[in-house]
Amino acid sequence: MIVRNINDKEVLDTTYLAHGGAIAQMILDRRTLKELGFLAIARLAPGKVIEAHVDPMEEIYFVLSGSGEMKVDEETRQVGPGDATWIPVGSLHALTNNTQEECTILVVASPAW
């Protein structure tokens, strides 16, 4: 069994700027996982944007706190706590924090079968 806490050194050591806007950390990734790509946490400050990008794997953005405007291809929707957005492989996607509070999301990614 492997248990990771977002405050563990192994997680904090992976801190990076995700797509120009969010501060992110890998909770679990290919160093540990066998089938999934990764589980990450990302924090998006007010007014910041996870810039539009395309990934080679399927993803789910799950909002833990705060809210923002999620765009997947041509669809845009306001998302908030408890919302999970499925992002198909190859879809252009972005998240804008259009509020005055931090938006925290979990990102789960998996290679396409």
Q: Answer positive or negative: Cα dihedral of 49, 50, 54, 59.
A: negative
The pair of three-digit structure tokens given for residue 73, joined into one six-digit string:
């291809």
Q: In whole angstroms, how far apart are CA 77 and each of 64, 73, 94, 97, 106?
A: 16, 11, 11, 12, 18
Q: What is the pLDDT of residues 14-40, one digit of tens each?
A: 999 999 999 999 999 988 998 899 999
Q: Any idea where the domains of the chain sit in the sequence?
A: 16-104
* pLDDT score recorded for residue 112: 67
Angstrom distance (rounded) from CA 69 to CA 74: 13
Contact 112, 54 (CB under 8 A): no
Q: What is the pLDDT of residues 56-103, one digit of tens each?
A: 999 999 999 999 999 999 999 999 999 999 999 999 999 999 999 999
The pair of three-digit structure tokens given for residue 26, joined into one six-digit string:
């890998």
The correct answer on CATH 3.40.47.10 for the domain covering 16-104 is: no
Q: State pTM to two decimals.
A: 0.94
With H, G, I as helix, E, B as strand and everything else as coil, classify residue 12.
helix
Contact 17, 40 (CB under 8 A): no
